Chains A and B, each alone.
Chain A
């Protein structure tokens, strides 16, 4: 029944949406504060290994049951992502290292650090034992009972998917309705203006970068514990870069990011489930995987629409000084 396949593909796309959206939101906070963050992939990697460990530790070692064990695991991943993002913040904000350089270093170091931590956590450097604890999955009320097999799309989802989906509300509110958001955005657009009005640019940029680490870390933890069930080296599979792509093409806007995170998530899910569907079966799955990146290149080249990044993003700001 083709509907079932589509429904399952959609269900998988929700999972990818969660990863891409959370990581993308992380990038959004960082870049709207003026710090380009191409280290999202690395931050996610740290989230995967620490999240997998956290879920096991809180559930098995501390014997916290559902939902607290897995939930604390996710939070632990977020916390570790936040701490690791601190490296990027110190380098770019306090030492004014080029943001791209620092981001590349973050990605490189994350690989080694993940192995190192894995060795310490699990006694093996490239994976943890499969079947780790995760949040009890749930069916979305009403939607999961849609007819024609479509309900499958809304069944058996991690509750964290819903968390990601409603995350747009607090994020949008914080950025657009809070004094904090106005100030954070001003640091990304014109830090000189912010500083001349007594706003501590470096303080807001630190916050932006640290939040990005927390989001990317949570996203990585979700991937390892909730989706895969254990940590494996390389399991992020470039999802951090897809998130970056989604962020760019959505013009650094949390609402549009929601749409593109889902769209790119769906593109990622197609080869897993809809390989044999008509039309799609004409294309090798590898080409479908390229779609998000190709679309982003087309957008950034200005062939369709127009993306406009925060004006000061990426520029080392001299007046920022130290905290």
Chain B
């Protein structure tokens, strides 16, 4: 939504009320879905014979009660911001990139290669070089899906699902062959992995400035992620590419008639999405572990999809959604001690939250649409009663993947 006021002399109050209604509507939907999640979670907690209020406060205290906890929250949020942004960029263009998973896996491989082979560089150069390698790896992997979509009409949902699986094998191959450690690390049964990266490859820890233990691995990457969110917001709202992306996403026919190249726009969005996805693996590679091993953190790409929904595909909303996700994830630790409720409860809670978010947004959007139509007035709407007859479906991001397995563009030539 536009942030600027109207330049023109129009009844601003009504406009503001429109926008307000949308924001309030979204806010209420989010609040409602949280309440539903907490409510359903309470039933589970009671089932374990505990007091919901106590368990919830334990979770929130565990993550928000101490500087350390907060440090962990932000460290968890960092890769999720990148991942959700990657999803959101494609969403805005009417595409569903569920390949962030594979794109960051490939990004980790290229980044690890850069970290190991450019070890002669000083830290100032090596860290950016690693990130660029990750960006390029993610972009390359996304480009496959993007090009196939644009050139052959192969639906991105199908191709990215497949590319995710291929990426997993690719990483396994990389750490088995070209990037396999040269000196076996000490210990008997060590996981397969690369050699340790040089110390210069690590991105600086910022936890120390806030009294967070190094174990949280809170790094400068957090600020990179926030900067990325702002850049993506600007890109989508204030630039030609963002404008074209949204036009293509909402009405491809109109975009084409307006002289916009659909394929070109989609491909560029996929590349940007892939670049963002490439950054997802940085937290674990160069803020935390310092090597790429078989036991890498998976599912960050899929979790990013959940975070993107939670943040309504709004780049700024995504920052907060990722933090909320981090709060819940970190709070899990607090359940380990002195609670009958297993820590896995938090994952269930996150799942319920996402499900209720998805459903309440869907319902809220319909309501809002109906009300808008109502306000468009009888005269106008009557003409369009044909459109009404087909009861207008929801539009926008959530619909992006709707025709996943029906690539009609291809079938009709």
A contact residues vs B (CB 8 Å cutoff): 31, 36, 38, 87, 91, 95-102, 104-105, 107-109, 111-113, 115-116, 119-120, 125, 238, 241-242, 244-245, 248, 284, 286-287, 289-290, 293-294, 296-297, 300-303, 308-316, 318
Contacts and interface: CB of A to CB of B under 8 A. Distances in A.
Contacts of B358: 91, 97, 101-102, 105
Interface in B38-59: none
B98 interface: yes
Contacts of A293: 162-163, 165-166
Give the interface SS of chain A, mostly helix, strand, loop or mixed.
helix
Nearest to A41: B161
Contacts of A111: 299, 347
B402 interface: yes
A303 B302 CA distance: 29
A315 B403 contact: yes
A38 B306 CA distance: 15
Interface in B98-135: 98
A119 B342 contact: yes
Interface residues of B, number: 61
16 contacts: A36-B404, A38-B404, A99-B401, A101-B358, A104-B306, A105-B355, A108-B351, A111-B347, A112-B347, A113-B347, A125-B343, A287-B169, A301-B159, A316-B393, A318-B391, A318-B393
Q: Chain B: interface secondary structure?
A: helix
A100 B404 contact: yes
B302 A125 contact: no
B96 interface: yes
Contacts of A310: 405-406
Contacts of A112: 344, 346-348, 350-351
A48 to B, nearest CB: 16
Interface of B: 96, 98, 148, 152-155, 157-159, 161-166, 168-170, 172-173, 176-177, 299, 302-303, 305-306, 309, 342-348, 350-352, 354-355, 358-359, 362-363, 390-391, 393-394, 398-407, 410-411
Given A96-B362, A99-B404, A115-B347, A125 B342 contact: yes
Contacts of B351: 105, 108-109, 112-113
Nearest to B48: A120
Nearest to B360: A95
B96 A100 contact: yes
A97 B366 CA distance: 11
Contacts of A318: 390-391, 393
Contact of B169 (A100, A289, A313, A315): A289
Contacts of B406: 309-315
Contacts of B154: 297, 300-302
Given A108-B350, A302-B152, 7 more contacts: A102-B358, A115-B344, A119-B342, A290-B165, A300-B159, A308-B411, A310-B405
Contact of A38 (B161, B163, B177, B355): B161
A120 B342 CA distance: 9
A100 B157 contact: yes
Contacts of A284: 173, 176-177
Contact of A238 (B165, B342, B346, B355): B165
Contacts of B306: 104-105, 108
B299 A245 contact: no
A286 to B, nearest CB: 4
Contacts of A100: 96, 98, 157, 400-402, 404
A293 B144 CA distance: 13
Nearest to B361: A97
Given A100-B98, A108-B302, A301-B148, A238 B168 contact: yes
Given A95-B362, A238-B168, A301 B405 contact: no
B359 A108 contact: no
B148 A297 contact: yes
Nearest to B345: A116
Given A300-B155, A315-B402, A95 B359 contact: yes
Contacts of A116: 342, 344-345, 347-348
Nearest to A90: B359
Nearest to A118: B344
A300 B390 CA distance: 30
Contacts of A120: 342
A302 B173 contact: no
